Structure 1
C-alpha cells in the first residue's frame, strides 16, 4: 500500500556535533555523488563534504560557517530525500529558508550538482559578507496554543524598533510558533533589551547567521544572480511549495520566474515556512510529513504549523503527541527512532 508524503528540507543550524559523520553513517552508498560535490568544492579551493563530515572533531566556529554548514546540510538532506522507502510516493516538496535550495534539487528542478552550486555559492556569499544577524523568539507557550495577539504585538515591536534611526530589524522567517528576526546589531540589541527571557533561552542569537530574508541581503541577491544563471533551472518532477506558499507544478513552471524568485524574493523578503507547511497539508493531504536530516529541530516547527491550522483535529502540543503516538504523521529522518519509518 502506497504512503503519500510531503518532503521537507531543513535550513541552516541543523548540522551540529551529533550530526558529524552523518554522510558516512547513513549514505555510504552515495559516495560517488558526494565525491562529485567534493570536486566542485575543490574547484573553489574549499574542503570537500566527505572530508568535513569525516573529521575527528566538531568545532562550532568551523561548522556554523555558511560556506561549511550549507553544503553539508545540502548533501545530507538530498541523500535522505533519495533514500525513501519504495512504498512512499512524494506528492510535494518544500523546505525552510536554505531548505528551499535543497527542495529544488530534491524535486528535480535543479540537478544534484547544480543544487550544490547554488547552495555553495549563496552560503559562501553570505559568509564572506555576513551582513547583519538573526535571533529567534517564540510567541506561543509550551502548549503550542496559537496566540495571534502575541504574534502581532511582537511584529509591532519589530516595526517600532526598525523605525528608529540606525536600527534595522525585520521578520526573517515565520517558523511555526517562533519568529526568526533579522537585522543589524543595533536592531537586534534593541529587541533583546526590550523583551524578557522566556523558556530559559530566548531571545536566542544564531551564530554565523546573516540577516537572511531581509532587504539587507540585496547585495547578496544581486551577486547570486550574476553568478547563477537561469538555464540551471528546469521543470520539477514533484510540486514545490515556496516561502510564500506558492506551488510550482511539474510541466507548468516558468523556469526563469523560478530563478528570479529563488535569487530575488527568497533572499530579500520574509520566508513564511508556516504558510508553506499549511499549504502542503491543505493542498496535498499527505499521509506523512517527512523532514529530512540532518538534525531534527525543524520537526517542532512543522508540528506547530499543523496544529495552528487545526490539521487533522490537532490544535495544541497534547493533541499532536496523541495523534503521533496513535499513528505517526510526522517523521524526522534525523531521529534514529523515526528514520526507519521513512526508509523502510
Structure 2
C-alpha cells in the first residue's frame, strides 16, 4: 500500500559533530552524484564535500561556515530524498530557509548539480559578506500552546528596536513556536537585553549565521542573481511549497518567476516556514511528513507548526506525542530510530 508524503528539507545548523561521516554512512552508493559535487567545488578551488564529510575531526568554527555547511547539508539532504522506500509517493516538497534550495532540486526544478551550484554559490556569498547575525527565541511555551499575544509582543519589540537609529532587527524565519530574528550586532544585543532568558537557552545566537531573509542581504541577492542565471530553473516534477506558503505546480510554473523569488524575496524577506508546513498539511493531507537529514532538529518546528494549525485536533505537545506514538506520521531521517520508517 502506498504512503503519501511531504518531504521537508532542513536548513543551516543541521550538520554538527554527530553528523560527521553522514554521506559515507548512509550514501556510500551515491558516489557518482557526490563526485559531481566535488568537481564543482574543485572548479571554485574549494575542499571536496566527500573530504569534508570524511574528515577525522569536527570543529564548529569550520563546519558552521556557510561555504562548508551549505554544500554538506545539501548533499546529505538530497541523497536522503532520493533514497525513500518504494511504497512512498512524494506529493509535495518544501524546506526551511536554505532548505528551499534543496527542495528545488528534490522537486526537479533544479538538477542535482545545478541545485548544488545554487547552494554552494549562495553559501559562499553569505560567508564572504557575513552581514549581521541571527538568534532564536520562542513564543510558545514548553507544552507548545499557541500564545498569539506573546508573539505579537515580541514582534512589536523587534519593530521598536529596528526603528532606533543604527539598529537593525527583523523577523527572519517564522519557525513553529519559535521566532528566528536577524539584524546587526546592535539590534541583536538590544533584543537580548530587553527579553528574559527562557528554557535555560534562549535567546540563542546561531554561530556563523548572517542576517538571512532580511533587507540586509540585498547585496548577496544581487550578486547571486548575477552569478546564477534563470536558465538553471525548469518545471518542477512535484509540487513545491515556498517560504510564503505558495505552491509551485508542475507544468504550470513560470520558471523565471521561480528564479526571481529564489534569488529575491527568499533572500531579503521573512521566511514563513510555519505557513509552508500548514499549507502542506491542508493542501496535500499526507500520510507522513518526512524531514530529510542531516540532523533532526527541524522535526520540532514541523510538529509545532501542525499543532499551531490544530491539525487533526492537535492543540499541544501532549496531543502530538500521543498521535505520534500511536502511529508515527513525522519521520526524521537524521534519527537512527526513525530512518528505517522512510527508507524501508
Alpha-carbon distance in structure 2 between the residues aligned to 1:116 and 1:47 = 14
Offset, 1:171: 0.1
Alpha-carbon distance in structure 1 between the residues aligned to 2:269 and 2:289 = 26
Q: Give the aligned partner of residue 298 of structure 2.
A: 298
User: How many residue pairs align between the two structures?
Assistant: 344
Q: Give the aligned partner of residue 53 of structure 1.
A: 53
Offset, 1:55: 0.2
Alpha-carbon distance in structure 2 between the residues aligned to 1:83 and 1:302 = 21
Alpha-carbon distance in structure 1 between the residues aligned to 2:93 and 2:321 = 24
Give CA-to-partner distance per residue, 1:252-292, whole Å, 9 cap, x none. 00000000000000000000000000000000000000000
Alpha-carbon distance in structure 1 between the residues aligned to 2:128 and 2:222 = 14
Q: Give the aligned partner of residue 116 of structure 1.
A: 116
Alpha-carbon distance in structure 1 between the residues aligned to 2:31 and 2:310 = 41
Alpha-carbon distance in structure 2 between the residues aligned to 1:194 and 1:157 = 8
Q: Give the aligned partner of residue 228 of structure 2.
A: 228
Q: Give the aligned partner of residue 93 of structure 1.
A: 93
The aligned runs of 1:191-340 (5 Å cut-off) are 191-340=191-340
Alpha-carbon distance in structure 2 between the residues aligned to 1:111 and 1:48 = 19
Alpha-carbon distance in structure 2 between the residues aligned to 1:283 and 1:141 = 28
Partner of 1:216: helix, strand, or coil?
helix
Matched, 1:27 2:27: yes
Alpha-carbon distance in structure 1 between the residues aligned to 2:146 and 2:99 = 25
Alpha-carbon distance in structure 2 between the residues aligned to 1:256 and 1:198 = 44
Q: Give the aligned partner of residue 126 of structure 1.
A: 126
Give CA-to-partner distance per residue, 1:195-227, whole Å, 9 cap, x none. 111000000000000000000000000000000
The aligned runs of 1:133-144 (5 Å cut-off) are 133-144=133-144
Q: Give the aligned partner of residue 9 of structure 1.
A: 9
Alpha-carbon distance in structure 2 between the residues aligned to 1:212 and 1:30 = 31
Alpha-carbon distance in structure 2 between the residues aligned to 1:206 and 1:255 = 33
Q: Give the aligned partner of residue 73 of structure 1.
A: 73
Partner of 1:6: helix, strand, or coil?
strand
Alpha-carbon distance in structure 2 between the residues aligned to 1:63 and 1:196 = 30
Partner of 1:29: helix, strand, or coil?
coil
- Extract unaligned runs of 5+ from structure 1: none
- Extract unaligned runs of 5+ from structure 2: none
Give CA-to-partner distance per residue, 1:132-176, whole Å, 9 cap, x none. 000000001110000000000000000000000000000000000
Partner of 2:90: helix, strand, or coil?
strand
Q: Give the aligned partner of residue 187 of structure 1.
A: 187
Alpha-carbon distance in structure 1 between the residues aligned to 2:233 and 2:111 = 8
The aligned runs of 1:102-113 (5 Å cut-off) are 102-113=102-113
Offset, 1:19: 0.1
Partner of 1:106: helix, strand, or coil?
helix
Give CA-to-partner distance per residue, 1:42-75, whole Å, 9 cap, x none. 0000001100000000000000000000000000
Q: Give the aligned partner of residue 40 of structure 2.
A: 40
Alpha-carbon distance in structure 2 between the residues aligned to 1:199 and 1:266 = 30
Q: Give the aligned partner of residue 167 of structure 1.
A: 167
Alpha-carbon distance in structure 2 between the residues aligned to 1:130 and 1:247 = 31
Q: Give the aligned partner of residue 178 of structure 2.
A: 178
Alpha-carbon distance in structure 2 between the residues aligned to 1:7 and 1:132 = 30
Offset, 1:313: 1.4
Alpha-carbon distance in structure 2 between the residues aligned to 1:343 and 1:155 = 40
Offset, 1:31: 1.1
